[in-house]
Amino acid sequence: MPVRPRSLTGAAAVAGALVVVAGCGGGGDGSGGSDGLTMYYPVAVGGPLTEVVDKLVADCTEETGTQVTAVYSGSYADTMTKAQTAARSGQGPDLAVLLTTDLYTLIDNDLIVPLDTLDEDLSWTEEQFFPAFLASGEAEGKLWSLPFQRSTIVQYHNKEAYEAAGLDPEQPPTTWEELEEHARQIQEQGAAEYGLEIPSTQFGNWMFQAMAIQQGVENTPGTDGFVDYLDDPGSVEALTWWKSLADEGLMPSGTTEWASTPEDFLQGRTAIMWHTTGNLTNVRTNASFDFGVSMLPAAEQPGSPTGGGNLYVFNRGDENSRAAAYEFSKCLTEPERAAEWSIASGYVATGEPAWETEAMQEYAEEFPEATVARDQLEVAQGETTSHENGRVAQAINDTIAAVLTGQAEPQEALTQLQANIDQILQPYRAR
Amino acid sequence: MTDVLAAPTGTEAPRSEPPPRRRRGLGDQAFAWALLTPAFVVLIAFTHYPIVRSAMASAQERGGEIGTGQYERLVNDPVFWQVLKNNIWFALGTVPTSMALAILMAVWVNNKLKGQAFLRLAYFTPTILPMVAVASIWLFFYSPGIGPIDQLLSAVGLPTRNWLGDPDTVLPALMVMMIWKQAGFFMIFYLAGLQNMSPELEEASTLEGASRWYHFRRVTFPLLMPTTLFVFVVAVTDAFKIIDHLFIMTGGGPNNASNLLLYYIYDTAFSFFDPSYAGALTMALVVILGLAAILQFVVLERRVHYR
């Protein structure tokens, strides 16, 4: 059939239709209307956790009568990216589970609302949550989020490897010296390829903070979104020690992947690992050997930063939808559900009432390892939280990688790092 | 463009009722534009408009005033120079090697030999896989200790390495993967070029007693120049714009040793939420790719024999 000029209108119509289709493709998803809310949540640890979240959300939908679509949105970083970009085009989530360390970034971008605008009396939170967890939701004298999936770093050890190396499997290391001794003995006896793995990618800054706390460095969580502990002598000591573990061959050289560390532990490649309690259920389900969980060892003192994610109510919709989002997050963090979530994931149940539930008490009796992280809260500090959190965390991770791969010396690298961070945060000081 | 489009209609002129000539010309013009509209709309919406927006964003300084602050930052940003250097090494490391391999494989599978179809498919397989899948596979290959590469090394008594956790090996490791992924793709273009070539040329060379290498060097390769140009352009732009593997394998680490420009832009825009600086970085990338394209089409085109 010959092509005729008169089909011009047809061609134009096709072109028009294409534009319309393209327009729809960009605009159709992710919006929570007034009658339904959207919640973004990440899964940062192993195991099929999306089903558990879906169940919690379904239960709370029934209880509160608010229709909530829970959107699994990848890692914490992915979720933060999605929430930010969606919010910019006016389609953000109504509530989201995001890292506690993103608090200032969220406030600076005016993405979240303080909870006192939704609830005049927030005293109930003090009874329901551990103070250490609650503290990381506080800024500018207000509470901005509710603890949901909270963690600390704990030390996992392979009891079979301990026995094979002639060590007492019930006596995990409690000091840095013991840790080195055990790791060395395990390697010398050939019980595992590496004595120890401490992951240095993604959350390397978190691991580093733990070592700094153990060295007695003060104020690692930062003040009002400013971080100043990085060039402290104790911090230098901490990074020097980390590097020495790799130099002595107790740990793999170079950087160690966050995600592959539990895999290495489960495969028996490393006998000891430091990792989030969030991986407890994953390890418990998949380990073919007996393993133990203990508090991180002490240098000057024991300690770990807290970590994990809180539930934030976003600054969108009208008063009613925000109130509904708040009620919903209250429902999700109720003691019974906190217990259920803790048992399914390995995250620390967020408060005393949750630990007093029947389910949690049974679980703790059957699996005492679960209580380690709770007990460690006594000596825990809040995770480093700053303005420009993404950039600051990346700068810290880059420095750790530079030192661990032998590109830089701890003292100089950390001095430079603190200067860089001061520069990144400079605009916030002026305000 | 419009000439080309007008041509088929022109040849039909004797058959159809001849409409007035002037109207017809105008109609052809309009028709050609109508055909081009969808492509234009998509290009403008997803390429030109975003470039303009990036340029506008990059002119914003902190606090909202207009200025060149972002570009000053860029010049003084060591990470920018590092990712640029990485990117140039990445291009130098992947483009010539994968093109040479592609020609080699194309000549090889163009021969009449048994299992030819199977061989072609085998070489092409890495190309059909999505980049993310390739990255996941190679992440396993490179994983220290338990990965096949380290297994193999330790089996023959060589020291194993933390390939992706060492700044000295991470970029070469990614290059090897990229070559593996891309060579088969470029092979297809060369194969098409070879199949278009008249067999008489080879017969003539044989009659004249030219060696096969001489024939390849003086006849086949020059005739493949248009293909080479095309493949070169694709390979160079790919070296700057394919970053999927970084998300899976290294996140740009350790300490930016494997970070590439586009990934740094992504990080700046979506992890650090700094659209202005990301805009400045984007303009740098646009300029680099623009210069590369001009260089390729203006300088190299002169040296290309089209038939």
In a domain, A20, yes or no: no
In a domain, A22, yes or no: no
In a domain, A263, yes or no: yes
Q: Based on the domain organization, do A228 and A273 belong to the same domain? A: yes
Instruction: Give the model confidence (pLDDT) of B188-201 as tens digits.
Output: 999 999 988 888 88
Q: Give the best residue of B76, B166, B273, B281 to mutate against chain A (max A CB count within 10 A).
A: B273
pLDDT band at B115 (very low <50, low <70, confident <90, very high): confident
First CA to last CA across chain A, in angstroms?
70
- Write down the pLDDT at residue A409: 95
In a domain, A224, yes or no: yes
Whether A13 and chain B come into contact, CB under 8 Å, resolves to no
In a domain, A102, yes or no: yes
Rounded to 5 degrees, φ, ψ at A223 are -125, 125
Q: Based on the domain organization, do A300 and A189 belong to the same domain? A: yes
- Write down the pLDDT at residue A316: 87
Rounded to the nearest angstrom, the minimum Cα separation between A365 and chain B is 36
Instruction: Give the model confidence (pLDDT) of A144-167 as tens digits.
Output: 999 999 999 999 999 999 999 999
Q: Based on the domain organization, do A239 and A104 belong to the same domain? A: no
Spatial CA neighbour of A276 closest among A382, A341, A350, A203: A203
Q: Based on the domain organization, do A240 and A256 belong to the same domain? A: yes
Q: Is the ipTM of this complex over 0.85?
A: no
Average pLDDT of span B165-176: 93
CATH number at residue A316: 3.40.190.10
Rounded to the nearest angstrom, the minimum Cα separation between A193 and chain B is 9
Domain with A415 in it? 152-305+383-430
In a domain, A220, yes or no: yes
Interior angle at CA B110, CA B104 and CA B116, nearest 5? 105
B165/A253 CB distance under 8 A? yes
Q: Based on the domain organization, do A144 and A179 belong to the same domain? A: no
Q: Based on the domain organization, do A256 and A364 belong to the same domain? A: no
Spatial CA neighbour of A272 closest among A158, A154, A369: A158
Q: CA-CA-CA-CA torsion for A27, A29, A32, A36, nearest 10 degrees?
A: 130
Which residues neighbour B240 within 8 Å (Cβ) at sequence distance 6 or greater?
B87, B91, B260, B261, B262, B285, B288, B289
Position B14 pLDDT exceeds 60 = no
Whether B17 and chain A come into contact, CB under 8 Å, resolves to no
Q: Could you tell me if A344 and A367 are in contact, meaning their C-beta atoms sit under 8 angstroms apart? A: no
In a domain, A270, yes or no: yes
- Write down the pLDDT at residue B270: 87
pTM over 0.80: yes
Q: Which domains does chain B have, with CATH numbers?
A: 2-58 (no CATH), 70-303 (1.10.3720.10)
Helix (H, G, I), strand (E, B) or coil at A367: coil
Rounded to the nearest angstrom, the minimum Cα separation between B269 and chain A is 9
- Write down the pLDDT at residue A88: 83
Q: Which of residues 67-106 of A touch B (CB under 8 A)?
A: 77, 80-81, 84-85, 105
Q: Which of residues 132-151 of B touch A (CB under 8 A)?
A: 143-146
Q: Based on the domain organization, do A295 and A245 belong to the same domain? A: yes
In a domain, A240, yes or no: yes
Instruction: Give the model confidence (pLDDT) of A53-105 as tens digits.
Output: 999 999 999 999 999 999 998 888 889 999 988 988 888 899 999 999 999 99
How far apart CA A366 and CA A351 sit, in angstroms, is 19
Instruction: Give the model confidence (pLDDT) of B34-88 as tens digits.
Output: 999 999 999 999 989 999 999 998 998 877 778 888 899 899 999 999 999 999 9
Work out the mean pLDDT of chain A and round it to a whole number. Answer: 88
How far apart CA A143 and CA B284 sit, in angstroms, is 42
Whether A260 and chain B come into contact, CB under 8 Å, resolves to yes
Rounded to the nearest angstrom, the minimum Cα separation between A15 and chain B is 5
Q: Based on the domain organization, do A192 and A255 belong to the same domain? A: yes
Sign of the C-alpha dihedral computed for residues A158, A293, A218 and A115 taken in this order: positive
Whether A402 and chain B come into contact, CB under 8 Å, resolves to yes
Position A374 pLDDT exceeds 60 = yes
Q: Based on the domain organization, do A234 and A336 belong to the same domain? A: no
Q: Could you tell me if A60 and A52 are in contact, meaning their C-beta atoms sit under 8 angstroms apart? A: no
Q: Based on the domain organization, do A130 and A259 belong to the same domain? A: no
Q: Which of A379, A396, A411 is the last residue of a domain?
A: A379
Residue of A nearest to B9 (CA): A3
Q: Based on the domain organization, do A157 and A260 belong to the same domain? A: yes
Whether B72 and chain A come into contact, CB under 8 Å, resolves to no
Q: Based on the domain organization, do A300 and A422 belong to the same domain? A: yes
Chain A residue numbers with beta carbons less than 8 Å from the beta carbon of B9 are 2-3
Give percent of chain A with pLDDT exceeding 70.
91
Q: Which residue among A6, A15, A407 sits closest to B167, beta carbon to beta carbon?
A: A407
How many domains does the structure of chain A reveal? 2
Instruction: Give the model confidence (pLDDT) of A303-332 as tens digits.
Output: 999 999 999 999 988 889 999 999 999 999
- Write down the pLDDT at residue B17: 54
Place of tokens 């680099």: B288
Q: Which of A379, A398, A416 is the last residue of a domain?
A: A379
